[in-house]
Every structure is written in structure tokens, then in C-alpha cells.
Amino acid sequence: MKIAGNILIILFIMPSACLDLKMPEKFDAGAMYTEDSDGDGIPDGIEGYGDPDNDGIPNSQDDDSDGDGIPDNQEAGPDPMHPLDTDEDGTPDFLDTDSDDDGVPDSQEGTGDMDGDGIPDYLDNTDNSGTDTDTDTDTDIDTDTDMDTDTDMDSDSDTDYCDEQDFTIEPQPARVLFLVDFSTSMGSGNPSPWKWVESGLKNVLSSGSATANEYGIDIFPDTGACTTGMNVQMDPQGDLAQFYDFMDDNDPTTGETPLYCGLANFNNVSYAPRLLDSEVDSYLVVISDGPDNCGTDCSGSAPADDSDLGDVTSLLLSNHGLKTVAIGLGSSFSDSQLNAITANGGTEFNSYLSAQDQYGFESIVSQILQTTVTCRFDVTDPAAQADHEKVNFYFDGNVVPFDEGCGSGGDGWNWIDSDTVEFCPGSCLQIREGYVSNISGRYGCQTITNK
């Protein structure tokens, strides 16, 4: 299965920056993944910023990251972009305190060669008397460079190579629906708040990486008074022309503000099936210029209160993974109502956002959409059938370590299902803030982990 969340954005208008994210075929991590702070030949992005030897120095600045007394530049091997992992346990030798997995720490074995076979003791898993104790099928202790294609990296001083093949990964577009207030006040003024929204969304959605998402729109009320529709006006899709046509062809004339009822519609999957597909990231952005005045029964007998709005938003998140954020326009909306929605919406925002004109609105929408940039990617054939323990991903050619379940919360990636990967918070932030321009995948060599 694919795990995803949905976001609802609410915009309120009170009377009275654009995002440019690129997702090319391969992905560029910028200086973090090209610099080598400690001069050991291993890029900072491969070394990472952990401190496994607890010496207070991050790996990127530590010339002996695992504290075994053997310099990183020696343990990395001849190709620091692909550091040696002698025992194939997923931890490169420069981070592994027992590189040959013989039970004797590298710090104890050292770089000597007790049995004179040309293999440093810390990489020699023999008993130092010439008996080969590695687990591959060859029993020799050779010193030739036969360039075989096994992947055992058994440290018997033959040069082992693993077959590698690049493959492509495709970003999963997020689905974003704008739930827009269509009450009388939204059509008042010159320009009206509705025109702010119409022009602002056209400007933002047609630029940069915002075009990678799918967008939809709905309104409240849809026919006047407190009435809302039986079906969404436009479920998210990739064709923005229909979205723009709806904005151009409609203007608010009469109606109240059934904010609660507009939100409650999305608790029914059949109302907006694409938005409420649990296998994608979905967002609801609510836009309004006034407080709810139609209540939970959509009759106008009594307005909904803060807890009503918070509760319905929480249900959208828990039942459908739909994430919601609210935008208030002008000065007549209810701060507490919009905060109740946003605080329970599951997004990165803890309180509502507000705008006083079209340009402020555009800036806010750009800010919200930046948080929707996907960090989940579909893995295409043939890698989908590849051994999951022999797959690696790279930012601008520099490896991103595997982090199971994203448990460390930092740089890394994780399998969501058999053909979907997600980049963990630290790596995702680099993507969203534009540090990365190229992402690539490669299979055939042991997965490098962040252990």
C-alpha cells in the first residue's frame, strides 16, 4: 500500500513569491553534497552529519568518523564516491568498527599485515595463519586483481566489482483542492476578494514546480444562502484550463458563509474521490473572508463554533489523510475559527495565514504549495523487481543513505512499499528548498545505510 496525506487549504477574504521547484530526471543536492569539509576525499553528503564515535565532531568534519584509529580516506578505498563495505553489512568501512566482520574490532587489528598476504589485518577475516574464513565460494587467499563481478567484497585482495544499472524514479504529484468562499462579500469591492483569488491562483499555479501538482476547486455556498453541492465542482486533475475556466465564468452574487458544511462534504469519499484517494498526498486549502454563519445543520439557525470546525477538520485527517490549512482575506473572518481548522489540519502550519491583497495572497499560496512538493517517488522497471537490499539513491551523484522507517529523522530514504520510496525529513527539506536539482537511482550494489 502507499501511505499518503491530504491537505485542505481554507482562504478567508476580509474587506478592506513565487515558487520555482524543479524535478528533473536526476536530482542536484548542491554544496552539501559536493563539499568535502575534512579533505578526506569523501563528500560531506556521503559522510553525513552524524557522530557515531561520539567525539563531538560530525562525520563530515571528522577524518576518522568511526574512531577506530584508521583514517577515513584509507578505509573509503580507491573510489570515495562509492566507499568500500568489506563485509557487505550496509555500513561503509569508514563507519564500521569491524570492517571484515570477524569479531575483532578494527582498532585492535590495525593496518598491519600479520600473515603477510597483502591484506591489512582490519580487512583480513582470516585467522592470520593463511586460512580463508570468508563466506564466498572461493577459498584462495589470492592477491591478483581478477576483476570478478561477484559482490562479496571479501577483502581477499582481489578487486571485487558489483554490477550497477541506473533507473528512473517518477515523482508522485500531490493533489490540492482550493475550497473558496462564494458568499456575497467575496464579490464586493474593486477588485473583489474573488478577483484576488482568481488572478492570484493563475499566477502561482502556472509557474515553477507548482505545475507538478494536480489542482481542483470547490465553493461554499454553491447556489445561495447556506446550500452546498452534492458533488465537488472540480476534483483535482492535471488540466489547469478547466480550473481557470471555472474561475473566469463564476462570480459571487448572493450567499452566506457555510464554512462548516463546505468542509463536512469532504468526509464523504464519493464527493471528491480523487482528492480523497488515500494512496496520494492530498491537501485542502480553505479560503474565506468571514466567519461561519450557517451552523452544523447548514440552515443558518446558529453558527458553528470553533470546536465544531476543529472536529470536522480532524475527521478529514484521520479518516482520509486529508490535510487542511486556512487562509483569511481582509479583516472580517474569525481568527479562532481559522486557527481551529489549521491547528487540526495536520500540515506544517500551526495557525492560519492571512492576506490583505492579491500579492499577499499569492505569497501565502506559494508558501503553502512549497510544503506540498512531493518527497515520494515511484520506482520504475526494472528496479521494481530488483533486490531491495541492493538499491541506492543519489542527489547529484552523491549517495543518500537508507534509513529504515526514517527513524533518524534526518537525511535518508525509506521504502513505502515495493515500488515507492520516500525521502526522510532532512533530505525532503533539501528537495523542497531547492538544494537538489537531480535525483537518480541505481541498483546492483549493496544498499548504503546510515548506521
For residue 143, how many other CB atoms are within 10 A of its CB?
11
Q: Is residue 279 part of a domain?
A: yes
Mean pLDDT of 336-341: 98
Q: Is residue 146 part of a domain?
A: no
- For residue 432, what pLDDT band results from cuts at 50, 70 and 90? confident
d(CA 386, CA 384): 6
Give the per-residue pLDDT at 440.
86
193 plus 80 within the same structural domain = no
57 plus 10 within the same structural domain = no
Q: 283 pLDDT exceeds 50?
A: yes
- For residue 261, what pLDDT band results from cuts at 50, 70 and 90? very high
**Alpha-carbon torsion, ordered 124, 129, 131, 136, to 10 deg:** 0
Give the per-residue pLDDT at 34.
57
Instruction: Report the chain's mean pLDDT, rounded to a whole number.
Output: 81
360 plus 387 within the same structural domain = no
Q: Which residues contact 97 (CB under 8 A, 6 or more apart)?
A: 66, 67, 68, 105, 106, 107
357 plus 417 within the same structural domain = no
d(CA 195, CA 366): 17
Mean pLDDT of 43-55: 78
Q: 4 pLDDT exceeds 60?
A: no
241 plus 97 within the same structural domain = no
Give the per-residue pLDDT at 181.
96
The C-alpha angle 379, 381, 384, rounded to 5 degrees, equals: 55
Specify the residue for cell string 586483481. 145
- For residue 28, what pLDDT band results from cuts at 50, 70 and 90? very low
Higher pLDDT, 233 or 390: 233
Q: 150 pLDDT exceeds 90?
A: no
| Residue that is last in its domain, among 370, 388, 416 | 370
| Residue that is last in its domain, among 342, 370, 398 | 370
Mean pLDDT of 143-172: 50
39 plus 94 within the same structural domain = yes
Q: 435 pLDDT exceeds 90?
A: no
Q: 154 pLDDT exceeds 60?
A: no
Q: Hey, what's the cell of 179?
A: 475550497
178 plus 300 within the same structural domain = yes
Q: Hey, what's the cell of 281?
A: 498526498
Give the per-residue pLDDT at 61.
87
d(CA 387, CA 443): 8
| Residue that is last in its domain, among 322, 339, 370 | 370
Q: 163 pLDDT exceeds 70?
A: no
Q: Is residue 36 part of a domain?
A: yes
Q: Is residue 115 part of a domain?
A: no
From residue 65, how far is each of 32, 55, 82, 95, 233 by CA, in Å? Answer: 17, 9, 16, 6, 57
Q: How many domains does the chain have?
A: 2
Instruction: Determine the structural domain holding residue 234 and report its residue range.
Output: 6-14+171-370
Q: Is residue 385 part of a domain?
A: yes
Q: 173 pLDDT exceeds 50?
A: yes
359 plus 389 within the same structural domain = no
Q: 11 pLDDT exceeds 70?
A: no
